[in-house]
């Protein structure tokens, strides 16, 4: 007679543990998990990849880790340096076998009027961009303004209108569309970025 309450309590504890485990897994899947905090949800966009001539959006990249940055080809200082660092990141990810498979690099132009598809393709080739996992995107001018506003990228043409002052940031997005890191593009460290990317890849493999 006395064993029934004990058995009931044991079943109750097991039930609570099962619910806790399921809740933890659900949180990791939905809220991100891992050591990187969730900074917010990545805004959706739709733009054309100039190399593969296909439409790319955050929705189409669901399930991939995405590193996204902003540039324009007439830039003579920070933008080419950023592309060089992206090239270094690409090389490391290719060696690891995660480039294109688990991780996508995205470079979105701020200046679609001057950055025509042929200009962007030449620019991408200069940095040995592998089109299988490094997308150079372009939207029309009206769409570009909407995308920049959604992502918090402020732009201001210089007085001679040759150069563009803009927000300097690069975002790391996880497989569920969560922003997991925001880097100052001027100080982008390829090794740190790859380390952060690998932490998200490892989490996916564990799940």
Say if CB 12 and CB 19 are below 8 A apart.
no
For the chain, 207 residues long, the average pLDDT of each consecutive 10-residue run is 54 50 41 72 96 94 97 92 97 97 97 96 97 97 95 82 84 97 94 96 63
**What is the SS3 string spanning the chain?**
CCHHHHHHHHHHHHHHHHHHHHHHHHHHHHHCCCCCCCCEECCCCEEEECCCCEEEECCCCCCCEEEEEEECCCCCCHHHHHHHHHHHHHHHHHHHCCECCCEEEEEEECCCCCCCHHHHHHHHHHCCCCCCCEEEEECCHHHHHHHHHHHCCCEEECCCCCCEEECCCEEEECCCCEEEEEECHHHCCHHHHHHHHHHHHHHHHHC
User: What does the pLDDT read at residue 35?
Assistant: 73
Fold classified for 40-206: Glutaredoxin (3.40.30)
User: What does the pLDDT read at residue 11?
Assistant: 52
User: What does the pLDDT read at residue 77?
Assistant: 86
Question: What is the rounded CA–CA span in Å between residue 187 and residue 196?
Answer: 15
Domains in the chain: boundaries: 1-31, 40-206
Q: Between β-strands 155-157 and 134-138, what pairing exists: parallel, antiparallel or unpaired?
A: unpaired
């Amino acid at each position: 007679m006395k064993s029934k309450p004990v058995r009931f309590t044991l079943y109750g504890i097991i039930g609570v543990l099962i619910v806790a485990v399921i809740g933890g897994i659900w949180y990791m899947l939905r809220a991100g998990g891992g050591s990187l905090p969730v900074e917010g949800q990545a805004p959706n966009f739709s733009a054309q990849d100039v190399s593969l001539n296909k439409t790319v959006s955050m929705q189409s990249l669901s399930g991939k880790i995405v590193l996204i940055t902003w540039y324009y080809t007439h830039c003579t200082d920070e933008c080419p340096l950023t592309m060089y660092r992206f090239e270094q990141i690409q090389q490391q990810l290719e060696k690891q076998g995660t480039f294109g498979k688990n991780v996508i690099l995205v470079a979105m132009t701020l200046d679609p009027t001057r950055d025509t598809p042929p200009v962007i393709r030449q620019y991408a080739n200069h940095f040995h961009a592998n089109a299988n996992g490094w997308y150079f995107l372009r939207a029309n001018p009206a769409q570009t303004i909407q995308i920049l506003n959604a992502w918090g990228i402020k732009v201001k043409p210089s007085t001679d209108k040759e150069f563009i002052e803009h927000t300097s940031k690069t975002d790391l997005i996880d497989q569920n569309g969560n922003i997991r890191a925001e880097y100052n593009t001027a100080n982008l460290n390829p090794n740190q970025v790859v380390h952060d990317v690998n932490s998200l890849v490892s989490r996916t493999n564990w799940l």
